[in-house]
Chain A
Amino acid sequence: ELKVEQNPLFLSMQEGKNYTIYCNYSTTSDRLYWYRQDPGKSLESLFVLLSNGAVKQEGRLMASLDTKARLSTLHITAAVHDLSATYFCAVVQETSGSRLTFGEGTQLTVNP
């Protein structure tokens, strides 16, 4: 059974600081997604990572994938308050079509 673990689960940081969220998964996967969720809202797609060594950046967020280590990171650079949200990684198991297995989520709070 595919398991996805994120850490930390809660993250409080100051504006302007950098931090990294980690996502570990237990079995081989050919796709990894990062999503953002604001309170009471749906999931907003941030990144799709397909191959070992893939790196994608959008604004202050950068995601990377190491398929050998079964690890993805979401790096936040110079955080701003607007980044406060819950971030989920989700993994697709190779044989499961487009079925996503989500991590528990990282609740990020950026303080002024």
Chain B
Amino acid sequence: DAGVTQSPTHLIKTRGQQVTLRCSPISGHKSVSWYQQVLGQGPQFIFQYYEKEERGRGNFPDRFSARQFPNYSSELNVNALLLGDSALYLCASSLTRQGLNEKLFFGSGTQLSVL
């Protein structure tokens, strides 16, 4: 079975541009979460979607938005890119929204560089 897949793997943008990152969860998983990992730090929570609805949002500006599609895949959009948005963006999937014994499975990430 395929794991969590993310695309693209690498992306270079300039300040002010917009970017869309994509994530396909593990088959059967209905929850997708997005995390931002700046070099040398732990990942920070951006969004969680479950059953196509936003279920949680981290401390990120409104330039960050996301959605989940009927097939449970997800997109993360970032507008008006800043240099500080350069990071590894990780997508994680889980079967449900709050499974006590569940693991979150992470994709390989999209490395975004903003110049």
Binding site for B on A (CB under 8 A): 4, 30-31, 33, 35, 41-45, 48, 50, 88, 90, 96-105
Contact = CB atoms under 8 A, between A and B. Distances in A.
B48 A43 contact: no
B100 A102 contact: no
Given A45-B105, A98-B48, A104-B42, 20 more contacts: A4-B42, A42-B106, A42-B107, A42-B109, A43-B43, A43-B106, A50-B100, A88-B42, A88-B43, A96-B56, A97-B48, A97-B55, A97-B97, A98-B97, A98-B99, A98-B104, A99-B45, A100-B35, A102-B43, A102-B44
Contact of B103 (A4, A45, A96, A105): A45
Contacts of B105: 45
Contacts, number: 64
A100 B98 contact: no
B104 A100 contact: yes
Contact of A48 (B35, B48, B101): B101
A42 B93 CA distance: 13
Contact of A43 (B44, B55, B58, B90): B90
Interface string B72-115: 00000000000000000010001001111111111111000000
A4 B41 CA distance: 12
B97 A100 contact: no
B24 interface: no
Interface string B28-39: 000101010000
Contact of B100 (A30, A42, A43, A44): A30
Contacts of A105: 41-42
22 contacts: A4-B42, A33-B104, A42-B108, A42-B109, A43-B90, A43-B106, A45-B103, A45-B104, A45-B105, A48-B101, A48-B102, A97-B48, A97-B55, A98-B98, A99-B45, A100-B43, A100-B45, A100-B104, A102-B42, A104-B42, A105-B41, A105-B42
Nearest to A103: B42
